[in-house]
Structure 1
Amino acid sequence: MLGADDAVTAALAARGWPARPLADQPLGVDLLNTRWVAGGVAYDLLDHDDLTEAWLADRELPTGRPVPRRQLREARDAVAAVIADPADHAALNALLDRGRVRLAVDEHGQVEHEDVADPAWRAAWACLRDYLRLREATPDRLRKCANPDCVLHFQDVSRTSRRQWCSMTACGNRFKARRHHDRVRGQA
């Protein structure tokens, strides 16, 4: 279930890794946050089969053998590139070409079926599709943390749409304190 990080939490604890920040983001953004930095150390779920499988299980996404780490990394990189530069969508479009949405009708109305020919791409394609849904609904609210040292992304759901930091305590206050320290040191 999205937002429940049960399998990932257990797998991280087994490795002695810190908890994953911002695990409550929508799938299209959560893919970006499969890598993070804690205490100056970089962590990446998609570098390990067991952690990737745990993330896929928690998100109820298809997995298989081999574990689709490469495909998920490519999707993550393409989404990050588009958030950094909305005009940089070539890689994202190339990956979206790996699948399509097939429409049908049943007794409840319109039904959409994801049609991805290569099973190894199903999970990555589902993440890309969710990112597109988010981008369509709230294009100016998908952001990278304003702290240049942070790699996290988030969907800004604040009332004013002015959120800049993944976390005010983790990045906002630290960045502001560092900027103030640099200004004071520069005046001395």
Structure 2
Amino acid sequence: MLERLLVGETISLDLVNTEWIDHGDKVDFLAADGAPELWFREYGFDPAEEDADALRTSRTAIRSLLEAAGPEADARMNDVLSHGYESIRVAGGRPATTPTVDSGWGAAWRAARAFTELVATHPDRIRQCAHPDCVLYFYDTSRNGSRRWHSMETCGARTKSARHYRRHVTDEKAKQRR
């Protein structure tokens, strides 16, 4: 079983992050045997009631909005969102929201719906990792909103190391020219 690179994000970004690049090759966690079922269970869904193709469709819709928002991306997301709706009722004097979702679309719809809430409330905190070869997204929870990498230990360290190397090589070449 593949091990995912970034977990613990919101359900929508965690879904998007089931695709990543490893040594130049695209990796699709959801294509691995048993992976969709594992993902469904992690989020409290019954794998027997969920459709992995719907989950992939939702992932594509969310990624489309992250990478190239526009009419086509909107249409993809609206297609996913059309598989469910929320009803608001009052119980005990408090509003309660109840989703009604097409069969097999529970997890896919919930991830898409969660993404719309994230975009509505904190769009400036949704970021793609700043490493040029990384396709992972994260929700920036840092106090000042300055987080740049999905992981300081991996992409952050690689970026800083490359910058140090370039600076060192440039300094050495300058010294050789003198």
Q: Which residue number in structure 1 is paired with residue 17 of structure 2?
A: 33
* One-letter amino acid of the counterpart of residue 80, structure 1: R
Q: Does 1:162 align with 2:160?
A: no
Q: Where does structure 2 lack aligned partners over 5 or more consecutive residues?
A: 174-178
Q: Which residue number in structure 1 is paired with residue 82 of structure 2?
A: 97
Q: Tell me the C-alpha RMSD between the 2 structures.
A: 2.4
* One-letter amino acid of the counterpart of residue 136, structure 2: L
Query: Partners of 2:160 and 2:62 in 1: how far apart?
Result: 28
Give identity over the alignment, percent: 33
Q: Which residue number in structure 2 is paired with residue 69 of structure 1?
A: 52
Q: CA deviation at 1:139?
A: 1.0
Bigger radius of gyration among the two: 2
TM-score, normalised via structure 1 length? 0.77
Deviations 1:107-160 (A, max 9, x none): 25212111123x111110011111112222211111111222112110000111
Describe how 1:36-47 pairs up with structure 2 within 5 A: 36-38=20-22, 42-47=26-31
Q: Counterpart of 1:110 in 2: which secondary structure?
A: strand
Q: Is this contact kept in 1: 2:62–2:77, CA < 8 A?
A: yes
* One-letter amino acid of the counterpart of residue 106, structure 1: A
Describe how 1:145-156 pairs up with structure 2 within 5 A: 145-156=129-140
Q: Counterpart of 2:6 in 1: which secondary structure?
A: coil
Q: Which residue number in structure 2 is paired with residue 8 of structure 1?
A: none
Q: Is this contact kept in 2: 1:62–1:123, CA < 8 A?
A: no
Q: Does 1:109 align with 2:94?
A: yes
Q: Is this contact kept in 1: 2:4–2:29, CA < 8 A?
A: no
* One-letter amino acid of the counterpart of residue 109, structure 2: W
* One-letter amino acid of the counterpart of residue 58, structure 2: A
Query: Partners of 1:58 and 1:154 in 2: how far apart?
Result: 18
Q: Does 1:126 align with 2:96?
A: no
The more displaced of 28-37 and 80-89 is: 80-89
Q: Is this contact kept in 2: 1:53–1:63, CA < 8 A?
A: yes
TM-score, normalised via structure 2 length? 0.81
Query: Partners of 2:114 and 2:33 in 1: how far apart?
Result: 23
Q: Where does structure 1 lack aligned partners over 5 or more consecutive residues?
A: 1-11
Deviations 1:91-118 (A, max 9, x none): 112211221111222225212111123x
- Distance change >3 Å, CA 141–CA 86, structure 1 → 2: farther
Q: Is this contact kept in 1: 2:128–2:136, CA < 8 A?
A: yes
The total of aligned residue pairs comes to 169
Q: CA deviation at 1:164?
A: 1.5
* One-letter amino acid of the counterpart of residue 124, structure 1: A
Q: Is this contact kept in 2: 1:63–1:123, CA < 8 A?
A: no
Query: Partners of 1:94 and 1:182 in 2: how far apart?
Result: 46
Query: Partners of 1:157 and 1:114 in 2: how far apart?
Result: 27
Q: Which residue number in structure 2 is paired with residue 143 of structure 1?
A: 127
Query: Partners of 2:68 and 2:20 in 1: how far apart?
Result: 20
